Structure 1
Amino acid sequence: MEYVLSVLNEVNKSDDISIYVVGQYIIDRLLGISSNEIEIVIENGFIDAIDRVFQRLDFDNYTKEVRKEVVFLRNKEKNIEIRLIDLKNHVLRDHLQNRVITIDSMALPINLYNEVQHENIIDPYGGLKDLQGKKVRNNLEREDALEISNILKAVRLMSQYNFDMDGKFKDFIVENHGKIETSYSKNITDELFKILKMEKTYYYFKFLDQNLNIFQKIFPEISPMKEVGECKYHVVDVFKHSLYTMEILELIIYSDSYFEEHIRKVYKEHSKEEIALGHSRLEFIKLGAFFHDVGKPSAMKIDETGRTRFRGHEITGAEIIKDMAENLGLSIKERDLLYRLVAKHMIPLVLYKKNDVSGKTLYKMFKELGDDTLDVLLIALADIIATRKLLDPTEEMGKFKIHVEYIANNYLTRFKEVEDISHIITGKNVIKNFDLGEDVLINELIEEVRKAIYNGKIGTSKEAALKFIEGVL
């Protein structure tokens, strides 16, 4: 980050270019936090400035995204994000006013990037005072403060720095609820996923709903979730259950002692996997947990005994997720992951009810879920606990944990070992050793070998695999 700022400072020395650091970088430096995001505004000569920055930085490791007047540069390896904003015909003060939130409306001349001190900061709306008071406040009661992306940004800053929202700002949002339009934009998705990165996401989702009354503006799907859900197994509606499921999931995943140590370490690394640019698997696990029952309102039926049932809710929910993912502008890979998490979340519970964790059953589950196995197990565990704890707070929850840990151990110590058996046997080995008919599919033979090793029927040698194939043929 230091090198990036020094490059920008060099570019700033041109007579016709003025560059400022704004927003989060200043907040982080004042709070003594290491920052990996930097937002830059450029007065005059934006194109020229960008060209000069590109000439000085090695961009082999950067991805570039152009969005209206903003150029996004991201370095995955160093976890750096740079946003370069073209002020066009505006001046800095106008831009700061448009940023809406006071602590986000501070600026620093780029030549003072190493001197982030109060006296050097341009602060027209009292951001420094609010930073000291740990408050998120709007700089003026303007209608653009009611844009969902700005409200989400305010809540994201609360979650990021553990700040409170100013009471007047909160009242302003609630009182003008009717003026807030349901909409989607890339900025909304960006802020939403930043909230999902934070601990206690469930708390801020609840805050958006209960304190600001705008969550349904972001996700209209939650309105019907509040109307259904109470049945034999649930004492609260789907929305409350979903929030509680997310809370349980976060308690589990951020705990250092909940799972066996080797499982905890695997989850820690697994959840860091980047699914798309800037979005890790953890955010999708949380989102999947929150929306795991989104299909219940459309799947609800009353049977002949008068009992409420939600058969197939996981499939109807997964279809709803498709539309939601499209509205959020998610990639196909992200959409498909969310779809699978919702569509498959019942599998571990079904196995628990059937008391079936046989090798054959688990192998089939692992083949079906693949890399998403651990995610589905985690969501299912949080779902079961969130359900049972409200039904009977005294019930022993350890049995559900044991069930999930047993499946996870089988996945990690048995299935993962046979996912790739090319070091044992390959299609070439099969062709070389056997005279196969045209109707014999080599991949199916390899799959049978994989199953046999998983179930302990044969050893992990080439000879054992060839002997097994000979018996099959």
Structure 2
Amino acid sequence: MDTIFSILQDISKEENVNIYVTGKYLRDFLLGKKVKDMELLVSNKTFSIAKKFADKIDMQIIEGNNSLGYRVIDIDRDLRIDFYSIEEDNINIYLQKRGITIDSMAVDICNFQDELKGNIIDPTGGLKDIENSIIRIWDEDVIYDNPLLIIKSVALMSELNFDMDRDTITVIKKNKSLVSNIQCKELGEEFFKVLRRRKTYHYFSFMNDELEILEEIFPEIKKMKEVGECDYHVVDAFRHSLYVLKLTEDVIYYDGYFEDHIRKSYENHAEENFEGDHTRIELMKLAAFFHDVGKPSARKIDSTGRVRFKGHEITGAEMVKDISKRFGLSIKARDILYRIVAKHMLPLVSYKSNDVSARFLYKMFQECKDETLDVLLIALADIIGTRKLLNPDEEMGKFKIHVEYIANNYITRYKEIEDLSDVINGKDIIQEFDLPDGVLVSDLIEEVRKAIFMGKIGMNKNSILKYLQNIL
């Protein structure tokens, strides 16, 4: 970054143009955190300044989100520098419009030196809020112009582990209906930042209990608060789901909960990137929270007067798909969420029927696919969340062992046979057999995979070919 600062300082002097560092880079610099991306405010000749900088450092320039902005990027170094136009006389007004105080500071690039704090332009008191670890929206009017600040303030809380100013809580609560004015994609981007951090459960509870905006973001939860209490649940579906989210996080972030090889598999699985900067752990948490979203529409009372929610997992999966579409998630992300919610009852079915046979497990792994570990985790949190509220002293070790057994079979047995190309492939089978019409090689390989899992044959070419000869 020293080279970048030096070049920007030279350009500022050569062109007689003020260039200000602002936003996340300045805030995180003051907090002692490392950050690559930078946002700059330019008093004049924005494109010319951005182009000159890009040429000097051999980076690519692209147009930003609006006609006033330009982004210079370095793909190899994963570096992005945004240039925005600002009239020199109005920088204080510009900063005030940003709303959140700790993001409403700037410093001239030529003054970005050891005595940084003394040179900061800070019209809303952001520096003091950083020192006090407070998220504050400095004026109510800015929320009307930019309602996204409501959810962005929570995302910053979760990122920095800050508290929220009491007056800001009051203002957000008063203006909670403005959430409906936020574009879903922008809302989703900020909301997923909360899912990315630890203590998501805490911030969900905060958004519901303190800010009262969770229903504004997800209208579906209103009905969840009205159903769910029955012989197995002492709280409504919403409170149960919040608890399941908490337990899911407890397991994910607790090093010694699972055996080492299972824990490592979960760590790798949770860190999987699926869409831009999103990771699978965000989807796991969202699925945990919405695993019972289908209960209100599935609620039935049987002939004995007992409340039942048969099929709630399928109804819920369809609702989660709709939520995913609303927030512009990719088809892959939608499929992941759908599968987790739709299949989250399978481990409990296995437990109640005492069925961990190879046949049942193979069918389950086929249905759950890459979401098997997700399903097991949510099922574990679900049953613990249910039983612990009914009987806080109940020992849940048996179900934990049950889930670990299934996870172990998935990791050590099923995953090993997902790809058999090193042992046998379609070309081998075609060369060996004169296949009848209608017989697909992919179907035969699936039969082989199943036979290996069931222990009928070994995982070697000779055993496989002999098995195929017998079934063809």
Per the TM superposition, whether the score is higher than 0.5 is yes
Partner of 2:270: 271
Q: Are the structure 2 counterparts of residues 73 and 371 from structure 1 closer, same or farther at C-alpha, using a change threshold of 3 Å?
A: farther
- Structure 1 portions without partners, runs of 5+: none
Shift of residue 34, structure 1, vs aligned partner: 2.2
Structure 1 residues 228-258: Cα deviation after superposition (integer angstroms, max 9, x where no partner): 1111111101110111011001111011111
Partner of 2:25: 25
Q: Any residues of structure 2 matched to 1:10-409 within 5 Å, and which?
A: 12=12, 15=15, 17-55=17-55, 66-68=64-66, 82-87=81-86, 91-113=90-112, 115=114, 117-144=116-143, 147-177=146-176, 181=180, 183-409=182-408
Q: What secondary structure sits across from 1:186 in the alignment? A: helix
Structure 1 residues 387-446: Cα deviation after superposition (integer angstroms, max 9, x where no partner): 111011111111121111111111110011100001111111111111222232211111
Shift of residue 188, structure 1, vs aligned partner: 1.6
Q: Are the structure 2 counterparts of residues 279 and 311 from structure 1 closer, same or farther at C-alpha, using a change threshold of 3 Å?
A: same
- Measured in 1, the distance between the counterparts of 2:151 and 2:267 equals 27
- Of the structure 1 ranges 415-424 and 150-159, higher mean CA displacement relative to structure 2 is found in 150-159
Contact 2:47 2:70 (C-alpha < 8 Å) held by counterparts: no
Shift of residue 174, structure 1, vs aligned partner: 2.3
Structure 1 residues 184-231: Cα deviation after superposition (integer angstroms, max 9, x where no partner): 333322211111111101101110110011111111111111111111
Letter in 1 for 2:129: D
- Measured in 1, the distance between the counterparts of 2:87 and 2:337 equals 39
- Measured in 2, the distance between the counterparts of 1:285 and 1:11 equals 47
Q: Are the structure 2 counterparts of residues 87 and 129 from structure 1 closer, same or farther at C-alpha, using a change threshold of 3 Å?
A: same
- Measured in 1, the distance between the counterparts of 2:8 and 2:437 equals 65
User: C-alpha root-mean-square deviation of aligned residues, in Å?
Assistant: 2.6
Shift of residue 24, structure 1, vs aligned partner: 2.1
Q: Any residues of structure 2 matched to 1:432-447 within 5 Å, and which?
A: 432-447=431-446
Contact 1:26 1:116 (C-alpha < 8 Å) held by counterparts: no
Q: Are the structure 2 counterparts of residues 301 and 40 from structure 1 closer, same or farther at C-alpha, using a change threshold of 3 Å?
A: farther
Letter in 2 for 1:46: T
Contact 2:155 2:194 (C-alpha < 8 Å) held by counterparts: yes
Count of aligned pairs between the two proteins: 471
Letter in 1 for 2:414: F
If the length of structure 1 is used for normalisation, what is the TM-score?
Answer: 0.91
- Measured in 1, the distance between the counterparts of 2:93 and 2:401 equals 58
Contact 1:28 1:35 (C-alpha < 8 Å) held by counterparts: yes
Q: Are the structure 2 counterparts of residues 119 and 318 from structure 1 closer, same or farther at C-alpha, using a change threshold of 3 Å?
A: same
Structure 1 residues 296-335: Cα deviation after superposition (integer angstroms, max 9, x where no partner): 1111111111111111111111221222112212222222
- Measured in 1, the distance between the counterparts of 2:380 and 2:71 equals 38
Letter in 1 for 2:24: Q
Q: What secondary structure sits across from 1:34 in the alignment? A: coil
Shift of residue 46, structure 1, vs aligned partner: 3.2
If the length of structure 2 is used for normalisation, what is the TM-score?
Answer: 0.92
Letter in 1 for 2:337: L
Q: What secondary structure sits across from 1:67 in the alignment? A: coil
Shift of residue 81, structure 1, vs aligned partner: 5.6
- Measured in 1, the distance between the counterparts of 2:352 and 2:153 equals 43
- Of the structure 1 ranges 82-91 and 203-212, higher mean CA displacement relative to structure 2 is found in 82-91
Contact 2:92 2:121 (C-alpha < 8 Å) held by counterparts: no
Letter in 1 for 2:456: K
- Measured in 2, the distance between the counterparts of 1:77 and 1:259 equals 37
Shift of residue 8, structure 1, vs aligned partner: 5.0
- Structure 2 portions without partners, runs of 5+: none
